[in-house]
Amino acid sequence: MRPHSPTPKLLVDLAEHFNLALHSETPDVLLTGITMNSRDVEQGDLYLGLPGARFHGASFAKDAVERGAVAILTDASGAVDATAAGVPVLLTPTSPRTIAGQLAAWIYGTTTDCPLTLGVTGTNGKTSTVHFLDGLLTALGKKTGLSSTAQRRIGNDVVVSSLTTPEAPELHGLLARMHEVGVDAAILEVSAHALTRHRVDGVVFDVAAFTNLSHDHLDDYADMDEYFEAKLSLFTPERSRKAVVSLDTAAGAAVVERTSIDVVTISSTPGVAADWVVTVTDEQPDSTGFTLASAVHGTVSTRVPVIGRHMAANGGLAIAMLVEAGIPLDEIRSVLDRDGSIVATLPGRSVRIPVQNGPNVYVDSGHSPDAFAKTLESVRHLTRGRVIMVAGANGDRDALKRPEMGREAALGSDVLIITDHQPRSEDPALIREAVLAGAREAKPDGDIREIAAPESAIRAAVAEATETDTILWAGLAEKEYREVGGVKIPFSVLDETRAALTEAGWI
């Protein structure tokens, strides 16, 4: 997803603009694209060879040239490999990653030619909020482009995402393509990793939003303060013009205190005052009603097509962002009144599996302690009988959150089954042990079970359930595989749960 008719740029101009040393005997080389992944090179690209944890990208320079790269930019440690590739070489004294965003913006022209750009960061709620934004803008008749954990999409063109936020060259290519096809608004999910690793450099968001901050990613950040600082960097004048900040977690107030850009606040927490206030009006098994009120802009009453106060908070945030972007609330209200709800499909977020005369069944992608707590709270509000939860944790990611996930899962459910998700390179038994330890410590007398095979775990939950119970599967919800010992095993929670319900006669 990059421009089909890019305006070629002269390599010498790029070298001069960025004050880079150019080693070339053919200064009239033209650039039409940029990438830092040799596998994505297209004819006319500048290939960035940068040092990573596993490789130095310059070691793929020859491969990149064979695929069409016309110049290489690298650092001193990549110079030999880059020179050997036989095309002009640009050298930078720092890691090419730190200038990749600016280079990509210059090559693709996205500094000036860019749609309205909306960005969402926070521990949880990013994907949901960007999909709500997409639904709202589409209902308003706007053409959208989207980049989320689940997908990159321009109009009807969709590709599955690997990273939540793409690397800067890919991101600017995406924005340039959006501009080329007349997209009105680009809606981007911004991970903390993206901010730390310069992936959104060169993008200035018209409106950026902060959802919340809770325990996650402490494998990448030393502590919560460092993780917060990463998120905070979105709310600087270089990155964003305006912000909508949720006060639902304490970090929101800290963002407001520290940011120097224009900011308005939003809250869905009863008793917490804010510029925008979300109040839940009713909770149904497949939707949540809420009002969103602002002293300046007025009030709107609508629904999100999914369960929970946290999802109403995401829906309210999406509406507030659009108003702050300049779309009158009256215009938004009229499409919401027409449709009766924000119309959006959230991939793997609290997906309800329809069951006739049986338990409520949800499959949710939550994989952090707060996501567990919030989803369990909503499920509890809708359940007359027991809450039966099937949960697990992933390997090669923040190990510290596992006992906390176990704790929240145990406290919020009546029957808890701990199973395997994606152990990746880790021993799955040790992951289960950590989650179980937190669960059993929080609820020593709780009904807490360990069933390693996820296929068996979901069947045990279904066997346990009666008509008045709710089954909640948390984690992996949008995946089509589980990564075990470096191998991707086909696995779909949705399919497996439907199969278990069918076998039990519920479907």
Binding segment (CB under 6 A) for ligand UAG, from list 53-61, 112-120, 287-295, 459-467:
53-61
List Cα–Cα distances, 402 to 256, 438, 494, in angstroms. 30, 7, 23
Encoded amino acid at 67, one letter: R
310 near ligand ATP (CB under 6 A): yes
CB closer to ligand UAG out of 97 and 386: 97
Total of chain residues touching ligand ATP, rule CB under 6 A: 23
- In the block, tokens 């991970």 appear at 191
Binding segment (CB under 6 A) for ligand UAG, from list 11-19, 164-172, 288-296, 403-411:
164-172
38 near ligand UAG (CB under 6 A): yes
How many degrees, rounded to 5, is the angle at CA 174 between CA 170 and CA 178?
A: 170
- Cα gap 255→247, rounded to integer Å: 9
53 near ligand UAG (CB under 6 A): yes
List Cα–Cα distances, 339 to 134, 171, 284, in angstroms. 15, 32, 17
Residues of this chain, 427-446, that bind ligand ATP according to CB under 6 A: none
349 near ligand ATP (CB under 6 A): yes
CB closer to ligand UAG out of 38 and 294: 38
**Least distance in Å: CB of 334 to ligand UAG?**
34
DSSP, collapsed to helix, strand or coil, labels residue 507 as coil
375 near ligand ATP (CB under 6 A): yes
| Binding partner selected for residue 37 from ligand UAG, ligand ATP, none, CB under the kind-specific 5 to 8 Å limit | ligand UAG
List Cα–Cα distances, 382 to 33, 361, 451, 507, in angstroms. 51, 11, 26, 20
38 near ligand ATP (CB under 6 A): no
314 near ligand ATP (CB under 6 A): yes
- Cα gap 114→157, rounded to integer Å: 19
Among 117, 124, 302, 419, interactor with ligand ATP by CB under 6 A? 124
N-term to C-term CA, the chain = 40
CB closer to ligand ATP out of 88 and 366: 366
CB closer to ligand UAG out of 230 and 344: 230
4 near ligand UAG (CB under 6 A): no
CB closer to ligand UAG out of 152 and 440: 152
- Cα gap 253→240, rounded to integer Å: 18
Question: Which residues neighbour 371 within 8 Å (Cβ) at sequence distance 6 or greater?
Answer: 124, 364, 474
Residues of this chain, 201-240, that bind ligand ATP according to CB under 6 A: 211-212
54 near ligand UAG (CB under 6 A): yes
Binding segment (CB under 6 A) for ligand UAG, from list 32-40, 131-139, 270-278, 334-342:
32-40
Both tokens of 111, joined, read: 């500094």
Both tokens of 275, joined, read: 């510029």
Burial annotation 400-419 (CB, 10 A radius, 16+ → b, else e): ebbbbbbbbbbbbbbbbbbb
Among 32, 38, 110, 149, interactor with ligand ATP by CB under 6 A? 149
Could you tell me if residue 174 is left (phi over 0), alpha (psi between -120 and 50 degrees) or otherwise beta? alpha
How many Cβ atoms from other residues are within 10 Å of residue 481's Cβ? 13
376 near ligand UAG (CB under 6 A): no
List Cα–Cα distances, 221 to 53, 200, 230, in angstroms. 16, 19, 9
Contact yes or no for 448/460 (Cβ under 8 A): no
Contact yes or no for 176/2 (Cβ under 8 A): yes
Contact yes or no for 82/61 (Cβ under 8 A): yes
119 near ligand ATP (CB under 6 A): no
Question: DSSP per residue over 284-326, as a string?
Answer: ETTEEEEEEEETTTEEEEEEESS-SHHHHHHHHHHHHHHHHTT
The DSSP bridge partners found for residue 289 are 282, 303
57 near ligand UAG (CB under 6 A): yes
Binding segment (CB under 6 A) for ligand ATP, from list 271-279, 361-369, 465-473, 498-506:
361-369
267 near ligand ATP (CB under 6 A): no
479 near ligand ATP (CB under 6 A): no
55 near ligand UAG (CB under 6 A): yes
CB closer to ligand ATP out of 70 and 118: 118
164 near ligand ATP (CB under 6 A): yes
Both tokens of 404, joined, read: 């906390």
60 near ligand UAG (CB under 6 A): yes
- In the block, tokens 């020179």 appear at 83
Among 45, 167, 206, 420, interactor with ligand UAG by CB under 6 A? 167
How many Cβ atoms from other residues are within 10 Å of residue 13's Cβ? 12
**Least distance in Å: CB of 192 to ligand ATP?**
10
Residues of this chain, 122-161, that bind ligand UAG according to CB under 6 A: 149
CB closer to ligand UAG out of 210 and 506: 210
482 near ligand ATP (CB under 6 A): no
Among 92, 121, 191, 265, interactor with ligand UAG by CB under 6 A? 191
| Binding partner selected for residue 328 from ligand UAG, ligand ATP, none, CB under the kind-specific 5 to 8 Å limit | none
- The contact set with ligand UAG (CB under 6 A) reads 36-39, 50, 52-55, 57, 60, 149, 163-165, 167, 191, 193-194, 197
- The contact set with ligand ATP (CB under 6 A) reads 122, 124-128, 149, 164, 189, 211-212, 310, 313-314, 349-350, 364-366, 370-371, 374-375
